[in-house]
Amino acid sequence: MKKILLVLITISCFIIAGAQIPVAKTDTGIIDGAAYKIVFPPNWKGKLVMYAHGYEFMGSSPRQSNNPQFVDGLKPFLDRGFAVAASDYSIQGFALPEGVENTEALRKYFVKRYGKPDTTFIVGHSMGGGVTLATIENFGKNYNGGLPLCPLSSRPYLQCRKEFDIYATFNALFPGIVPQLSEIFDLSKSKPAIPFSEMMPKVMAIRKAIVDKDSLLGVEFAKRFYLKFDDLPFSLFFNENVLRDIAQKANGNPFDNTNTVYSGFPDDWNINKKVERLAAKVNPNIIFGRYDRTGDINKPVVLMHTVYDQLIPPIYGVVNFENMVHQKNKDEYFTVKYTNGQGHCNFTPQQTGEAFDELRSWAKTGEKAKAGFIQ
């Protein structure tokens, strides 16, 4: 139970600080349909962090900036004299394009009202890490650098296709426990999200059903997707919500696995015979084309990731983007930091502060931050 609640907190990814953070001034309002909050510390030094939040379930409340823990999560930046500006985005769920545009609109508002900051960084967790990278790729001239934390750094299609493939293969091995993909993408039956009130009963029911059928096979299946078994039930619940959200926003199924050969399972031949096959019904660019990942960065980026992440494993959160950066010959702008955190966005305030300090030093001196572990 505690583990699942921690994941829920870190989906939107607040860094739990514990102590009340002193705030000198708060500015709130709405820009282009997106609520925002700007927080100024008592020792504001004319510096700015634009913060991009992670995935919020459709219909979840309160929105990001109204969460009681929001300001405490900004401690590493407020303590260093930075104002922090954060948009709630105009929509919930998969909102990477909106996150990019709403964050840029808020930055422009900040400059117009408070003047151009001495330095400006962008920071984001999870999907907000994807917003961070897309912002550096497309609006990098406005920033001194970026700090994406356990980010959605792969091409968004590939990241969400992972959720699709988990469902397709899980249903082949454990039929009847979670919905079929055909049901999720049938707009006459699908709903945008499962209410939080149904989460715990569903997660516990999924776990019991897996154990009752074949717990050893469940363990092997979890490993195939870089998961610990205890995290598999919640991951399936979370992925279902993401896929339902995508079905609604894309107005159909943007994924196609008719040509996919699945491997890495105890019996690959059997799973490929049984797996549910669906052809794409809509162009994936409808939802994934805007601000697709390129790796074309021109400002310092320090990407920090935990060694274990049940929602965005390092191969999706680091390796894919690293390869894109290398293909663009932009390695001079990219450094990766790891922590021994065991979970999505499971960073301490001290770890975040250390990574941020290394980014600031890099931006100031031009000496690239060294890759490696942060204790």
Q: Do 37 and 96 belong together in one domain?
A: yes
Q: What is the pLDDT of residue 90?
A: 97
Residue 102 and residue 65 in contact, taking contact as beta carbons nearer than 8 Å: no
Q: What is the Cα 199 distance to its own chain's centre?
A: 20
Reported as a single tens digit per residue, the pLDDT across 162-182 is 999 999 999 999 999 999 999
Q: Are residues 35 and 105 in the same domain?
A: yes
More confident residue, 61 or 190: 61
Mean local confidence (pLDDT), 273-287:
96
Q: Region 327-349: what's the mean pLDDT?
A: 97
Environment class of residue 152 by beta-carbon count within 10 Å: exposed (0-12), middle (13-18) or buried (19+)?
buried
Does residue 283 share a domain with residue 181?
A: yes
287, 302, 322 - which closes a domain: 287
Angle, alpha carbons 43-49-54 (nearest 5°) = 130
CATH number, domain at 141? 3.40.50.1820
What's the pLDDT at 234? 94
Same domain, 238 and 181: yes
- Per-residue pLDDT band for 58 (boundaries 50, 70, 90) equals confident
Q: Are 126 and 115 in contact (CB under 8 A)?
A: no
Q: Are residues 235 and 144 in the same domain?
A: no
80 and 39 housed in the same domain:
yes
Q: Verify that 138 and 170 share a domain, yes or no.
A: no
Assess whether 12 and 146 both reside in one domain: yes
Whether 258 and 306 map to the same domain: the answer is no
Distance CA(186)–CA(176), nearest Å, equals: 17
Judge if 62 and 40 occupy the same domain.
yes
**Distance from chain centroid for Cα 40:** 25
Asked if 310 and 354 sit in the same domain, the reply is: yes
Instruction: Report the DSSP pairing between strands 47-52 and 82-87.
Output: parallel
Give the three-state DSSP class for 370: coil
- The chain-wide mean pLDDT, for the chain, equals 92
Q: Which helix (H) or strand (E) holds 36?
A: strand 34-40
**44 SS3 class:** coil
The domain tally of the chain equals: 2
Domain stop point among 236, 253, 287: 287
Same domain, 277 and 176: yes
Distance CA 54, CA 129 (A): 7
Range of the domain at 93: 2-154+294-373
Q: What residue has token string 């792969």? A: 154
Residue 231's identity, in one-letter code, is D
Position 2 scores a pLDDT of 46
Domain boundary (252, 287, 322) is at 287
